Structure 1
């Protein structure tokens, strides 16, 4: 429909007032932005100038220009001077005065702008009253048209200001900046010295890290000091590790020069240490056990028995490990077919289960025989007591080989018959946590005369660097 002339006039006036209101709101936003910028003490070189926002206020523009200039001078002086420099102090005072002046000017301008906004709002309110007097249809059409044009003008105004702000921001900073002029120093890469140093560093550092991780993560017993850390038990001896097979070396070396080996000397030392455990009985009994299988208790028991047999002592080696017997294979002595299991079942007497060593006359061995289903019950019976009483009356030295004390209870049942109880610990095999747990067990704590034997010490460690003997002229010497 065709709008009346009066409605067109009211619409025109309303549009003009809306445009003025939009401009005043934009100015008011800029004044608030500038006031916040000054109160936060930010760098005034990056502030948007009033002219870019359509504000033609020469006083405010001049103050902001002066403030930007002082900020630039202060930044230049700070490059070569400290904050106590008199020029910087003077500039700071001038900046503070300018900020105060700008804030006072902003306060006045904001007040004036608010008054103008109030006046425009009142005039718009009066125009709205005049619009309400128009016919209903024209009134609705006029409101729709006014809203459309107002939104269109506001959108166009905001797009214009956005473009102006982007241009102003882009003009304040250059697209490129030269940080440092290019110079020539010759060849940069590859750096031969750096490469050589890196190779040497990696060649030394990486192996050291691997070795450290291997040693640090190893929880096995490596030294006698590892046992002493969590136990006060005496270390009765240390058995070295030799690459050659030393299982029968003591027997073959009874009357030969080769008997002066490191392995033979270590068992002689253990034999001497056992002599300090004196008792009033004619026979002495030594029990060997360990925490886990594979720690060499049977090996130590065989060689210690052979060492005592070389002293012309009637020695008996008893294999009470009826769960996993291995003495027959390690000693090289053929069994006569009878063992402890045959004695317990009544199929053989004590004399029938004793085997003699063909090379050492004083060494006798009792093997385990067939594996019974109930070794612990057999050992706990009265037959064991009668057997030990008979054997202790007949032999000077009795060596008992038992199962691991950390797995089964067989060794605990036999400790009452022994004068000395020896727990074998093997180098780099016995886990420290397992050994520590077993040594702190109440059953192990109550074992009388308990000692520790460290087996498998490397040949190059500690005192095992030399061997001793006699030459043809019976002169004592040390051979490396």
Structure 2
């Protein structure tokens, strides 16, 4: 019905358009009729007056021949003038049709000028008679032509036939109605969904080929000491996306130590397993200092350092956690304290080491040292002998010293600090660090004469298949 209505509306529009054009032309012709009729009357009066005065002078054969030719040319010129007035409403003077019409008028005007030269050679009486007769005949022919044209346009305006017609009417075949095939639609949708989801998984894997199995790390020759499940606790620090997609850790001045707030969390249980592994791994180490680094920022070094120190302190050992990342260290945000009066102030000689060490609230056996004010030369401060002597003194005062270092692939600070440590651990993040990236970080340590003891696989997510699916299970008391 819609298609049929469109077709009929198009036919009606075509007819109405034709009628509108005919009506416009008819109005123009009717406007010209009074003027032409006045010309006819004036020509008749002039002719009668002259014949009365000249006592009925007749036209010679030569004059009659010139008259017929001049009347024909003048009539054509008048017709073209009317057409020109009509075309002025639709075309510019540069239009090809308009220019062709002007060329015809120019040619006819040239012929008319030739006739006038011949007429000028006739006697005066014959010239005057010819002029009056010509004006009368031209006016009569023009008036008659306008009347005929007005009648034709009136008929065209009233007509209901255009140059468009409907060849076939629009019909609907109701013998075989179409209805949705629900079963086929559901089946196709399921297949498309499986295909799209599978393709999405492979695409994400190609775009971010991060390690998701600790076996891939061990194939690089780096033992995995522990896999820390991803915690969803509300006590963790909030991470916000900054400009250009960079992550930014936001501190609110409150402590966010997961091991103290939620000791039954799966991530804390995994850190206890790491504590046990380190107890045996450090037997042959040259000192009790552990340097914790990572290939890149955002892998969770500070989270591991702080919470590992907490579980070690809960086991009755005296532990010190030092934030050596003097550029972007965030240990103070995890503990909910200020970063001032820290390591950089001690190394610069502005503060004594004892004044920069503070106990953790609620954990008497755990102490910390923040990064201090950001210095202009962090690497130079770490290379100064004062840093080595500081670590040596602190090593004697504590059972375990955990040093949170910057990422090894970003700056060289981690290699400098690890040269003083008895053990070096590398934190890798589930689905973030690539195998080549981890291998490059290992080589960077080896170039500085440091052997990485092992890896900590952090933020392992729960998957249908994978390490987390069978690595850790929740095992806690249901009593409050």
TM range (shorter): 0.5 to 0.7
Is it true that 1:199 corresponds to 2:203 in the alignment? no
Superposition deviation, residue 427 in structure 1? 1.0
| Kept in 2: contact 1:301–1:400 (CA 8 A) | yes
Question: CA separation in 1, counterparts of 2:260 and 2:317?
Answer: 14
Is it true that 1:222 corresponds to 2:212 in the alignment? yes
Q: Quick one: structure 1 residues 465 and 350, their matched pair in 2 at CA, closer, same or farther if it must change by over 3 Å?
A: closer
Question: CA separation in 2, counterparts of 1:465 and 1:349?
Answer: 44
Question: 2:310 matched to which residue of 1?
Answer: 306
Question: 1:210 matched to which residue of 2?
Answer: 200
Question: CA separation in 2, counterparts of 1:266 and 1:195?
Answer: 48
Q: Quick one: structure 1 residues 435 and 400, their matched pair in 2 at CA, closer, same or farther if it must change by over 3 Å?
A: same
Deviations 1:162-220 (A, max 9, x none): xxxxxxxxxxxxxxxxxxxxxxxx96988947655433432332222222322343311
Q: Quick one: structure 1 residues 446 and 382, their matched pair in 2 at CA, closer, same or farther if it must change by over 3 Å?
A: closer
Q: Quick one: structure 1 residues 351 and 445, their matched pair in 2 at CA, closer, same or farther if it must change by over 3 Å?
A: closer
Question: 2:227 matched to which residue of 1?
Answer: 238
Is it true that 1:404 corresponds to 2:407 in the alignment? yes
Q: Quick one: structure 1 residues 201 and 383, their matched pair in 2 at CA, closer, same or farther if it must change by over 3 Å?
A: same
Superposition deviation, residue 227 in structure 1? 1.7
User: SS of the counterpart of 2:393?
Assistant: helix
For structure 1, list consecutive stretches of 5 or more residues without a partner in the other structure.
1-185, 254-258, 474-480
User: SS of the counterpart of 1:463?
Assistant: helix
How many residues get paired?
281
Superposition deviation, residue 424 in structure 1? 0.5
User: SS of the counterpart of 1:275?
Assistant: helix
Matches within 5 A, 1:92-171: none
Normalising by structure 2, what TM-score? 0.54
User: SS of the counterpart of 1:368?
Assistant: coil
For structure 2, list consecutive stretches of 5 or more residues without a partner in the other structure.
1-174, 237-255
Question: CA separation in 2, counterparts of 1:421 and 1:232?
Answer: 15
Question: 1:251 matched to which residue of 2?
Answer: 260
User: SS of the counterpart of 1:294?
Assistant: coil
Q: Quick one: structure 1 residues 197 and 315, their matched pair in 2 at CA, closer, same or farther if it must change by over 3 Å?
A: closer
Is it true that 1:420 corresponds to 2:427 in the alignment? no
Superposition deviation, residue 445 in structure 1? 7.9
| Kept in 2: contact 1:421–1:450 (CA 8 A) | yes
Deviations 1:26-62 (A, max 9, x none): xxxxxxxxxxxxxxxxxxxxxxxxxxxxxxxxxxxxx
Deviations 1:106-165 (A, max 9, x none): xxxxxxxxxxxxxxxxxxxxxxxxxxxxxxxxxxxxxxxxxxxxxxxxxxxxxxxxxxxx
Q: In the alignment, which of 264, 267, 271 is matched to residue 267 of structure 1? A: 271
| Kept in 1: contact 2:415–2:445 (CA 8 A) | no
Q: Quick one: structure 1 residues 458 and 445, their matched pair in 2 at CA, closer, same or farther if it must change by over 3 Å?
A: farther
Question: 1:139 matched to which residue of 2?
Answer: none
Question: CA separation in 1, counterparts of 2:478 and 2:203?
Answer: 46
Q: In the alignment, which of 414, 429, 454 is matched to residue 451 of structure 1? A: 454
